[in-house]
Amino acid sequence: MPKVYLGIGTNSGRRKKNIEVALRLLKKEKIKINQVSSFFKTRPEEGVKGSYFLNGVAEIETELKPKGLLRFLKEIEENLGRERNHKREEPRAIDLDIIFYGSLILNESDLIIPHPKFRKRRFVLEPLNEIAPSFNDPVTGKKIETLLKENCSARL
């Protein structure tokens, strides 16, 4: 089974509880959680409204194919109160993104792996560096610790 890295974020409701429930729900669908980073308190970025975020990363293993995993993550988001067609700038009880799916590179209309914005997001790179500093981005070939240094010199 491939190692998959998921970005996890929340900026509404009971943030810690949202994360706990999301992690518990992940385990229900042939998903093994290997490790979870610390969660960092961050300001909303990219025009998202609401209060601070808690952001982190989980390393999982799954038998689900990428699109099946994406569907399952969307189900968890809906289960925790995120509407399927929410607006990009709206606060969210939970946000689950596939950052990496092993070394897969996928570019389809509904799913891009690696996540197209992760290299510029300190709130992803910092927790990812905590649990997988030597993981190589399959697109650039660079280690996470290198991407963090190059793109996000200030710490959270």
Say which CATH number the domain at 91 has: 3.30.70.560
Q: Is residue 150 part of a domain?
A: no
82 is catalytic: yes
Kindly report, residue by residue over 63-112, the tens digit of the pLDDT: 999 999 999 999 999 999 876 666 667 888 899 999 999 999 999 999 99
Q: What's the average model confidence in pLDDT over 125-131?
A: 97
Q: Is residue 112 part of a domain?
A: yes
Q: Is residue 62 part of a domain?
A: yes
92 is catalytic: yes
Q: Which of 15, 71, 84, 95 is catalytic?
A: 95
155 is catalytic: no
Between the two ends of the chain, the Cα-to-Cα distance in Å is 32
Instruction: Give residue 15's domain range.
Output: 3-117
| Residues in a beta bridge with 143 | 136
Cα(133)–Cα(136) distance, integer angstroms: 8
Better-predicted residue by pLDDT, 36 or 80? 36
Q: Which of 15, 24, 84, 97 is catalytic?
A: 97
Q: Is residue 71 part of a domain?
A: yes
Count of domains for the chain: 1
> Model pTM?
0.92
Q: Is residue 89 part of a domain?
A: yes
Q: Is residue 123 part of a domain?
A: no
110 is catalytic: no
In the chain, % of residues over pLDDT 90: 75
